[in-house]
Amino acid sequence: MSVASPASPLHAGASRSAAPRRLLLLGNPNTGKTTLFNRLCGMRAKTANFPGTTTDLRVGSLQMPLTGGASETLEVVDLPGLYSLKLDLPESTVAANAVAGHEGARPAAAIVVADATNLSRHLMLVGELTREAVPFVVALNMIDLAHRRGLSFDLEKMSRAIGAPVVPIAARSGKGIDQLLAVLPEVCAAQGSAASTERRAPVSAVELELWAETVVAESVGGIGAVGSSSDTLLDRLDETFTHPIAGLVIFHLVMAALFWVIFAVASIPMDLIEAIFSNLGGFLEARMPAGAVRDLLVGGLIGGVSGTVVFLPQICLLFFLITILEDTGYLARAAFVMDRLLCRFGLPGYAFVPLLSSHACAIPGILATRLIPDRHDRFATILVAPFMSCSARLPVYVLLTNFLFADQPLFAGIAFAACYLLGAIAAMASAFLVRRTLLPGKSRPMVLELPTYKWPSLRVAFATAFEQGWSFLRTVGTVILAICFVMWWLSAYPKVEPPAAALALSAQAAALAPVSPEGAERLAAEAAGLTLSHQQEASFAGRLGRTVEPLFAPLGYDWRLTMGVLTAFAAREVFVSTLAVLVGAPDEGDAGILQRIHAAKRDDGSRLLTPATAVSLLVFFVLAMQCLATVVTVRRETKSWKWPLLQFCWMT
């Protein structure tokens, strides 16, 4: 999530300590409400939790222009997508309480975002809001798509029928945002005054639907154009994408293509990042005097951090492509298909969004389960969410699949997708088991309105990729940096004398240097390798790794892989950084971090990584519960240590 910027000055005449007035954003799911929120607030957003609720909401700040060049700061709250304020669902309760002012001061105003291409359905929520004492404006979103479909709107007639201003916008492109901001001061000025009785919509749901259809019939033209041949084509696409068999096949093909693109395209910036860190390490090594400080910077910090930063392009590209798929409307179709599948394993259809969110990180995925109404459904989703392959696993997957299928991006992509599939299978099997034992009951089906197809917004996709990449870099700059320092110290101390074999090779290299410089260099590199191996074997890390090594020996792990696995319980992505520190200096100066790890040798001279070991590590990282922060989050959400301990033991 984005981090809130420092509070902006309040409008003229206001006390600097006064809290800003609140502006609510309401709308059905898939109306572009969050896109509008990003347009209004930019990066001035954060995640907040209303007192007395368990739902995290996005909160940002907006500078509302006033007359005379002044402005007022409004607190903008992006409420969950909902179909009605009256439903017995968590999102409806949160929104209704926010509208009524139960979560603090009564809001100054609200913006109701409605899809211009499906107005009848969305006006029902607008009708409910006409009976509340909150002034509002209707943002008629996706107006560009509606115009392309041949629809026309009489905004004055629609505004009179609703009793509130109606502003056409296209949130993705920014069209109409200025007009929306222009009417906000007038709307906010009406705070506290209720809508006139004659403009209020009916109370019952049936009468409300007759009212919404009447408003559309009187103020929207060209409705017949919606039934054009282009819509027939879109209907056929929907039938295919949501087919119980074809839909699943297409979903897996789309995911496989996505992973192939990640491997094929990201290799260029990855090579560039490796070269930058390699040159930086070589620059410092050549200009700094030998000693602990140089070893720490070159072998510990630069070597360790580069082992994680090198995967930044793939992480950014993954979220960029997922955002593109979501923006086109395809992921909603995938959710519809997966709903049928999830229910068969005892998970509710509502679990799709938390499970999809868990592919970024299990923690927000677990927090997203707060919108699942049933307790058993929610706990079952929490227990299986960590099986979804999160972004922290990506560096490990890339390292090992690249080793297994070097220079074969197609097969590497398939192996990469197989890791995600294995996690999903483990999650479904675990859910099937837990819903028939610890959490019995029938899962609740999901009500989902399919959004319209539209061209994706590259701006939104780039912003999402940047946000996720920056979040990843913040982890690199804190947790991973600290662990790299600790691992370097553990592997560098206590200092020991070089072995006799290394001393003999060094002497031979010195004698051979005048005759054969190349031969002398080869002997010197071999001596350095023996010295490093001897130092690591006698170090604190070597001793600790060998103590725990018998536990992981059946998996084919030596002490270095064992240390990598142990440190990964703090943060999974640290595994690669730990190996980068423990394998030490490369035999060849221009070797990248991946090549160094791939070519590393064990103490007996055998390869550190073999195909069998690589597959074993992949399976371990897919299935094991290696995230202490997730354990703490599960404890907080379930209010018991029983569930996280059960989850940790089962997954590990």
Task: Give tens-digit pLDDT for 124-152.
Answer: 889 888 888 889 999 999 898 888 888 89
SS3 at position 221: strand
Tell me: the pLDDT tens digits for 482-501?
777 787 787 778 888 888 88
At 230, the pLDDT band (50, 70, 90 cuts) reads low
In a 13 Å sphere around the CA of 54, the CA atoms on its Cβ side amount to: 15
- Going by DSSP bridges, is the β-strand pair 21-27/109-115 parallel, antiparallel, or unpaired? parallel
Distance of alpha carbon 564 from alpha carbon 517, whole angstroms: 37
Which amino acid belongs to residue 584? G
State the virtual CA torsion across 619, 621, 623, 629 in degrees, nearest 10.
180
Distance of alpha carbon 229 from alpha carbon 505, whole angstroms: 80
In the numeric block, which tokens belong to residue 99? 């509208």
Distance of alpha carbon 432 from alpha carbon 505, whole angstroms: 61
DSSP classification of residue 571: -
Q: How far, in Å, are 230, 274, 299, 580, 625 from residue 277 at the CA level?
A: 52, 5, 11, 13, 31
Q: What is the pLDDT of residue 17?
A: 45
Q: What is the pLDDT of residue 448?
A: 65
Burial class (CB in 10 A: 0-12, 13-18, 19+), 139: buried
Q: What is the pLDDT of residue 176?
A: 92
- Give the lowest-confidence range in 181-195, 375-389, 511-525, 539-553: 181-195
SS3 at position 452: coil
DSSP-assigned letters across all residues of 25-79: EEE-TTSSHHHHHHHHHTT-EEEEE-TT---EEEEEEEEEE-GGG-EEEEEEEEP
Place of tokens 């997954």: 651
Q: What is the pLDDT of residue 18?
A: 63
The region, left, alpha or beta by phi > 0 then psi within -120 to 50, assigned to residue 291 is left
pLDDT of residue 12 exceeding 60: no
In the numeric block, which tokens belong to residue 286? 């050549």
The region, left, alpha or beta by phi > 0 then psi within -120 to 50, assigned to residue 571 is beta
Q: Which among 17-21, 105-109, 155-159, 588-592 has the top mean pLDDT?
A: 155-159
Distance of alpha carbon 350 from alpha carbon 426, whole angstroms: 19
In the numeric block, which tokens belong to residue 66? 């006033």
In the numeric block, which tokens belong to residue 290? 């030998």
In the numeric block, which tokens belong to residue 6? 């420092």
Distance of alpha carbon 557 from alpha carbon 148, whole angstroms: 60
The full length of the chain comes to: 652
DSSP-assigned letters across all residues of 126-186: HHHHTTSS--EEEEEE-HHHHHHTT-EE-HHHHHHHHTS-EEE-BTTTTBTHHHHHHHHHH
SS3 at position 205: helix
Distance of CA 365 to the CA centre of its chain: 9
Q: What's the sign of the alpha-carbon dihedral 554, 557, 559, 561?
A: negative
Distance of CA 299 to the CA centre of its chain: 31
Q: Do residues 33 and 110 make contact, with C-beta atoms less than 8 angstroms apart?
A: no
Q: In the predicted model, what is the mean pLDDT of residues 196-203?
A: 56
Distance of alpha carbon 66 from alpha carbon 69, whole angstroms: 6
Q: In the predicted model, what is the mean pLDDT of residues 98-127?
A: 86
The region, left, alpha or beta by phi > 0 then psi within -120 to 50, assigned to residue 568 is alpha
Angle at 564 between CA 606 and CA 590, to 5 degrees: 60
Find the helix or strand (DSSP H, E) in which 237 lies.
helix 229-241
- Residue, of 383 and 265, whose pLDDT is higher: 383
Measured in degrees and rounded to the nearest 5, phi and psi for residue 107 equal -65, 150
Flag whether the pTM goes above 0.85: no
Angle at 379 between CA 32 and CA 628, to 5 degrees: 90
Distance of CA 91 to the CA centre of its chain: 21
Beta-bridge partners for 340: none
Q: Do residues 552 and 575 make contact, with C-beta atoms less than 8 angstroms apart?
A: no
What percent of the chain is helix, strand and coil (3-state, nearest 5)?
Answer: 65, 10, 30
At 518, the pLDDT band (50, 70, 90 cuts) reads confident
Q: What is the pLDDT of residue 288?
A: 86
Q: Do residues 381 and 357 make contact, with C-beta atoms less than 8 angstroms apart?
A: no
Q: What is the pLDDT of residue 194?
A: 45
Place of tokens 């990469």: 416
Distance of alpha carbon 171 from alpha carbon 150, whole angstroms: 19
Q: Do residues 635 and 400 make contact, with C-beta atoms less than 8 angstroms apart?
A: no
pLDDT of residue 13 exceeding 50: no
DSSP classification of residue 224: G
Cis amide linkage into residue 494, ω under 30° from 0? yes
Distance of alpha carbon 357 from alpha carbon 388, whole angstroms: 9
Q: What is the pLDDT of residue 592?
A: 65
Tell me: the pLDDT tens digits for 25-83?
999 887 888 888 888 887 555 444 343 344 557 788 888 888 777 888 888 988 888 88
pLDDT of residue 198 exceeding 80: no
- Give the lowest-confidence range in 203-207, 244-248, 312-316, 493-497: 203-207
State the virtual CA torsion across 456, 462, 464, 467 in degrees, nearest 10.
-170
Q: What's the sign of the alpha-carbon dihedral 463, 306, 627, 414?
A: positive
- Give the lowest-confidence range in 303-317, 386-400, 415-429: 303-317
Distance of alpha carbon 8 from alpha carbon 74, whole angstroms: 10
Provide CB contacts within 8 A for 77, sequence distance 6+: 22, 23, 24, 25, 48, 57, 58, 59, 98, 107
DSSP-assigned letters across all residues of 342-358: HHHTT--GGGHHHHHHT
Q: What is the pLDDT of residue 380?
A: 93
Q: What is the pLDDT of residue 619?
A: 95
Q: What is the pLDDT of residue 191?
A: 61
Q: What is the pLDDT of residue 599?
A: 83
pLDDT of residue 5 exceeding 80: no
In the numeric block, which tokens belong to residue 303? 């070597």
In this structure, the number of other CB atoms found within 10 A of the CB of residue 411 comes to 15
- Residue, of 533 and 298, whose pLDDT is higher: 298
Q: How far, in Å, are 11, 396, 432, 561, 624 from residue 616 at the CA level?
A: 61, 12, 25, 11, 12
